[in-house]
Structure 1
Amino acid sequence: MDRTLSILKPDAVKLDLTGRINTYIENSGLKIIAQKMLSLTEKQAASFYHIHQERPFFIELVKFMTSGPVIVQVLFGKDAVSKYRAIMGDTDPKQAAKGTIRGDLASDISENRVHGSDSIDNANKEIAFFFAEYQLL
């Protein structure tokens, strides 16, 4: 059993898609074991997405992630990272399969509703970034 981080991005919160996204998560067999809403500061968003700092979309990404509240979650279950990545769908909603979060609920690559960890190692780091106070590690 593994854990992974999920972020319901500002567009998902603004469009009130959080319940629908949670249904995708729960129907996949993953459990939401921690969840909180917060507003990221520019410093937090830049730190969290530091691996993209050399990419042309970095400033836009930080601006978007600070444009409204997000919901961060810890998901738990068998193969949590790969399972969540599968239900999120392709980063580009136009390429995402129907039946996935992005395929069904997103329309734009820059506002694609959700973030999910890409490896167990990164999941542990990302969970610690947002949930250190709960000592989930």
Structure 2
Amino acid sequence: MSNRSFTMIKPDAVRNGNIGNILQMINAAGFRIVAMKYTQLSLAQAGQFYEVHKERPFYGELTEFMSSGPIVAAILEKDNAVADFRTLIGATNPAQAEEGTIRKKYATSIGENAVHGSDSDENAKIEGDFFFSGLERF
């Protein structure tokens, strides 16, 4: 089991001014940020990042949304990082997310759900490698 997870604060949360609040929740939950960058994905980059969902009906809407504005990408470190971060962010649908989770507090819909979180150790590595070189990790 890896001790790293990957997250993106999505364009809706950036647009709504919630970067600081979300980072505070991440820190308060015991995660250490080992890499972080404020950037914007092109439509092609969003398509490449979400390639795993290419055949899904929401792929076009997802890539349009994820390239619609700046994001904050980060690699997080903590024991049991992936599972603990999935718990912290809450259900994809904010209406079903538990109280106190990031999505319950800051997501506006299933599509605009404030944050991305890796769903496995393998994907955490792949996703972190998509955004960060070895020189950008601490």
TM range (shorter): over 0.9
1:59-85, Cα deviation, whole Å (9 max, x unpaired): 000000000000000100111111111
Tell me the residue number matched to 2:59.
58
Provide the aligned C-alpha RMSD in A. Answer: 1.2
User: Separation in 1 of the partners of 2:42 and 2:110?
Assistant: 22
Give the CA deviation at 1:130. Answer: 0.4
Q: Distance in 1 between matches of 2:76 and 2:134?
A: 17
Matched residue, 1:79 = 80
Scaled by the length of structure 1, the TM-score of the pair is 0.95
1:133 Cα deviation after fit:
5.2
1:93 aligns with 2:94: yes
**In structure 2, how many angstroms separate the alpha carbons of the residues matched to 1:94 and 1:134?**
39
1:89 aligned partner, one-letter code: G
Partners of 2:66 and 2:49 in 1: CA distance: 10
What is the aligned partner in structure 2 of residue 104 from structure 1? 105
Percent identical among aligned pairs is 43
Task: Tell me the amino acid that sits aligned with residue 116 of structure 1.
Answer: G
Q: C-alpha separation between the residues in 2 aligned to 1:108 and 1:124?
A: 27
Point out where structure 1 has 5 or more consecutive residues left out of the alignment.
none
Quote how far apart the aligned CAs of 1:24 are: 1.1
Deviation at 1:106, TM superposition (A): 1.4
- Name the counterpart of 1:119: 120
Q: Distance in 1 between matches of 2:3 and 2:17?
A: 28
AA of the residue aligned to 1:105: Y
- Equivalent residues in 2 for 1:20-39, closer than 5 Å: 20-39=21-40
State the match for 1:70 in structure 2: 71
Amino acid in the other structure paired with 1:120 = D
TM-score (norm 2): 0.94
The corresponding residue for 2:131 is: 130
**Cα shift at 1:33:** 1.5
Residues in 1 aligned to 2:108 and 2:125: alpha-carbon distance in whole angstroms: 29
* Structure 2: tracts of 5 or more residues without a match: none
Q: Is the 8 A contact 2:108 2:114 kept in 1?
A: no
Distance of 2:14 and 2:38 partners within structure 1: 9
CA contact (8 A) 2:6 2:127 kept: yes
